[in-house]
């Protein structure tokens, strides 16, 4: 055989073998590995199942963690959170490899409870808010405090709220995405004779743009709350005699009124108690209006006269309680003058003056076991008398603020 031809055949044979091998190599498929999540967060003690997608199917998948004390992974891809921290879990299949970053956190906060959710403060006052974070095993219990109106009420990092100026603010306690709120109302010290407005504010000077609903006649020891008397009144029959109403409390007009109105409502007897139909119709400032007790009528009389009613041990500017029946008190010229000044504040803004010319005002109080009569107090002398329930007299509502 021709040597040149043999050499050519040998070269062609080698080329065909090379091509066959090359084609065979290119037909081998590469492994493709994918993870849905490349970063996950797990709560301590819980687990997470990895579900990698591998091509071609059937390739063997291996799992490993670079920090198993934080997050371990088994042969099926189940990750278990063992301690708070970070770890990387690697998934391999043949030559393919992907990683998942694992962040292990503690139990997140679900609820925050504040010791106070609504508070009234005077300027300069402080109050400490404390927050209870639930559940108990919450990993992050660091409270972040914030005020939406720091010019009214500030709050520091410990939850101490300081009243800065008159107004409203909302204090927020936050842990992660969980919050709780406390509404803060900063007020001035109320004074007898202040105008009280429908928005819950009060002032000595008149704010003509606001709706006046009453005038302050009594301030409690806390210097933030008290009682107001309405700007108007009515002349009405008190109510039907001969009925047990449990209205014998000489201090608590609210309790007396509630008991009387309960009877009226239960027995559909509104037409028989005109005074209480009037009181029940008062709807001003979101307050609960009621007919005053004998003592509360005395508190009004004292306020008009320029002194404060006290049960006993009166100091300067105060007046001890007195007998309900036919006892005149505070009748001097200076007291008369003070009553005129008090009434002028009412009439100057279009209100009805409290009558100081010998007429009296109904109380909500009856003498013990007396089902026929009702107490009344005169505002020219402070003297009290009994009057039949079916009689007509002045009715004027009061409310607590």
**Strand 78-81, strand 47-49: pairing:** antiparallel
Are 179 and 118 part of one and the same domain? yes
- Residue 101 pairs in a beta bridge with 39, 88
- Residue 32 pairs in a beta bridge with 55
Are 164 and 293 part of one and the same domain? no
DSSP 8-state class, residue 238: -
Q: Which of 50, 268, 222, 253 is nearest to 120 (CA)?
A: 222
Residue 320 burial by Cβ neighbours in a 10 Å radius (0-12, 13-18, 19+): exposed
- Answer yes or no: is 3 within a domain: no
- Answer yes or no: is 16 within a domain: no
Are 149 and 271 part of one and the same domain? no
> From the CB of residue 201, how many other CB atoms can be counted at a distance below 10 Å?
19
Are 262 and 381 part of one and the same domain? yes
pLDDT (0 to 100) of residue 2: 54
**Global pTM exceeds 0.75:** no
Distance CA(89)–CA(11), nearest Å, equals 52
**pLDDT tens digits, residue range 250-296?**
999 999 999 999 999 999 999 999 999 999 999 999 999 999 999 99
Q: Which of 182, 199, 206, 196 is nearest to 120 (CA)?
A: 182
Are 315 and 396 part of one and the same domain? yes
Range of the domain at 207: 194-400
CATH of the domain at 48: 2.60.40.1080
H/E stretch holding 33 = strand 32-34
**Domain boundary at 105, 123, 142, which?**
105
Look at the chain and report how many structural domains it folds into: 3
Are 177 and 254 part of one and the same domain? no
Whole-number CA gyration radius for the chain = 41
Are 180 and 212 part of one and the same domain? no
Are 152 and 295 part of one and the same domain? no
- Answer yes or no: is 143 within a domain: yes
- Answer yes or no: is 139 within a domain: yes
Mapping DSSP to helix (H, G, I), strand (E, B) and coil, where does residue 374 land?
strand
**pLDDT tens digits, residue range 345-399?**
999 999 999 999 988 999 999 999 999 999 999 999 999 999 999 999 999 999 9
Are 124 and 179 part of one and the same domain? yes
Are 267 and 281 part of one and the same domain? yes
Are 161 and 299 part of one and the same domain? no
Mapping DSSP to helix (H, G, I), strand (E, B) and coil, where does residue 1 land?
coil
**pLDDT tens digits, residue range 129-188?**
999 999 988 988 899 999 999 999 999 999 999 999 999 999 999 999 999 999 999 999
Query: Does pLDDT of 17 surpass 50?
Result: no
Q: Is the distance from CB of 170 to CB of 148 less than 8 angstroms?
A: yes
CA distances from residue 77 to 85, 98, 175, 380 in whole angstroms, order as listed? 19, 13, 32, 91
CA distances from residue 312 to 318, 321, 322, 328, 378 in whole angstroms, order as listed? 9, 6, 9, 17, 21
Q: b/e map of 255-276 (b: 16 or more CB within 10 Å)?
A: bbbebbbebbeeeebeebbbbb
Are 227 and 144 part of one and the same domain? no
Distance CA(371)–CA(257), nearest Å, equals 15
Q: Which of 227, 165, 224 is nearest to 189 (CA)?
A: 224
**Lookup: tokens for 332:** 């001097």
pLDDT (0 to 100) of residue 28: 53
**Domain boundary at 76, 105, 134, which?**
105
**Strand 178-187, strand 118-122: pairing:** parallel
């Amino acid at each position: 055989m021709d040597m040149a031809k043999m050499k050519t055949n040998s070269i062609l044979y080698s080329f065909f073998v090379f091509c066959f091998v090359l084609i065979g190599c290119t037909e081998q498929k590469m492994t493709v590995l994918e993870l849905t999540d490349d970063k996950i967060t797990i709560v301590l003690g819980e687990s997470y199942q990895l579900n990698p997608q591998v091509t071609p199917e059937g390739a063997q998948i291996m799992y490993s963690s670079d920090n198993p004390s934080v997050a371990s992974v088994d042969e099926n891809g189940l990750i278990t959170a063992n301690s708070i921290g970070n770890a990387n879990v690697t998934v391999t299949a043949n030559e393919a490899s992907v990683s998942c970053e694992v962040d292990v956190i503690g139990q997140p906060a679900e609820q925050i409870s504040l010791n106070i959710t609504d508070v009234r403060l005077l300027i300069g006052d402080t109050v400490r808010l404390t927050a209870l974070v639930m559940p108990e095993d919450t990993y992050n219990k660091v409270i972040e405090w914030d005020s939406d109106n720091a010019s009214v009420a500030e709050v520091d990092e410990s939850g101490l709220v300081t009243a800065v100026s008159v107004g409203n603010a909302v204090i927020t306690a936050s842990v992660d995405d969980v919050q709780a709120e406390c509404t803060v109302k900063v007020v001035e010290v109320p004074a007898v004779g202040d105008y009280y407005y429908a928005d819950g504010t009060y002032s000595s000077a008149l704010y003509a743009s606001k709706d006046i609903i009453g005038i302050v006649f009594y301030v409690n020891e806390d210097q933030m709350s008290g009682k107001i008397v309405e700007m108007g009144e009515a002349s009405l029959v008190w109510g039907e005699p001969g009925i047990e109403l449990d209205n014998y409390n000489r201090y608590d007009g609210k309790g007396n009124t509630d008991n009387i109105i309960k009877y009226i409502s239960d027995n559909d007897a509104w037409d028989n108690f005109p005074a209480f139909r009037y009181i029940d119709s008062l709807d001003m400032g979101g307050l609960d209006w009621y007919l005053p007790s004998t003592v509360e009528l005395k508190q009004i009389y004292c306020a008009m006269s320029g002194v404060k009613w006290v049960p006993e041990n009166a100091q300067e500017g105060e007046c001890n309680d007195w007998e309900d029946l036919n006892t005149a008190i505070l009748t001097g010229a200076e007291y008369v003058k003070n009553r005129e000044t008090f009434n002028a504040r009412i009439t100057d803004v279009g209100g009805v003056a409290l009558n100081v010319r010998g007429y009296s005002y109904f109380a909500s109080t009856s003498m013990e076991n007396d089902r026929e009569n009702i107490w009344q107090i005169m505002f020219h002398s402070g003297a009290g008398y009994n009057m039949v329930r079916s009689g007509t007299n002045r009715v004027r509502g009061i409310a607590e603020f």
